[in-house]
Structure 1
Amino acid sequence: MKVTQAARLPVRAGESPWTPEELAEVRGLLEIEIEVRKAELRENEDEVAERLTDPVEGAGDDPADVGAKAFQREHDLALAYNTRDLLAMSERAIERMDAGTYGACESCGQAIGKARLQAFPRATLCVTCKQREERR
């Protein structure tokens, strides 16, 4: 991203404008996270596929084993859904960088804050809007 494009991203009062280096660092972290999440999803899908194709999986299980396996499946699915959500949030953050809207709260339009985005690059809401959302 060019200097002028990075500097145009919203920041809170008292914060210095984004530099291309700062934005590149945040983008790099997001890109690494995207690759890690994609690898996690592939691994999870491979494990599930392996279990589904095992012809003796579950043969002769007692009710406790069946329940434990069902619980494990539900746990694995919940982890996969969470991983997909995090992946989508990271990809959305990069899209917002490319569109020049990174750093603007999706609720009120005010700046999210550079420090918040450096700590949590996937943030889409300013602190005030996030607190309001969590109280609901």
Structure 2
Amino acid sequence: MEAKDLQYFRELLNGMLDDVLQKSDETIEDMTESGEVYADPADRATAESDRAFTLRLRDRERKLIKKIQNAITRIEDGDFGLCQDCGEEIGVARLKARPMTTLCIECKSKQEEDEAVRGD
């Protein structure tokens, strides 16, 4: 992969990381500032349900942070854009769609087929 492509993906991944971390900080602020007391149990249940949903989203983003950080590390190590299964280059179009991917489209398709057979 060319140096300009690596720089593009480094900037893209760092931007994604900044966005996710900012959302995380905003969630923490919102949850600590929200000291509302609900007289109606239904309102309280709705607020708790919303809070649980937000926490599930943030947990998914926590996992995404790790994937982004791993992709940035692969750029630094010179492994970015190489399929971890077959060692072939991952297409730039695929990397633009999902820059933290570790599998080429063929290996990812095979993985999904195997999961479908196993019922995962």
Fold-level match, TM-score > 0.5? yes
Q: Which residue identity is paired with 1:61?
A: D
Q: Deviations over 1:54-77 (max 9, x none)?
A: 2xx334222x22321121011101
Distance 1:38 1:19 in 2: 29
- C-alpha RMSD of the superposition: 1.7
Residue number in structure 1 paired with 2:118: none
The 5 Å alignment of 1:77-92 reads 77-92=55-70
Distance 1:100 1:114 in 2: 15
CA distance change for structure 1 residues 102 and 50 in 2, over 3 Å: closer, same or farther? same
Distance 2:110 2:48 in 1: 36
Q: Deviations over 1:23-77 (max 9, x none)?
A: 11111111111111111110011111222xx2xx334222x22321121011101
Provide TM-score, normalisation by structure 2.
0.82
Q: Is the 8 A contact 2:68 2:100 kept in 1?
A: yes
Q: Is the 8 A contact 2:38 2:44 kept in 1?
A: no
Instruction: Determine helix, strand or coil for the equivalent of 1:112.
Output: coil
Higher relative contact order (CA 8 A, sep 6+): 1
**Alignment pair present for 1:22 and 2:5:** yes
How many residue pairs match? The answer is 114
| Structure 2: 5+ residue stretches without partners | 116-120
Residue number in structure 2 paired with 1:74: 52
CA distance change for structure 1 residues 109 and 68 in 2, over 3 Å: closer, same or farther? same
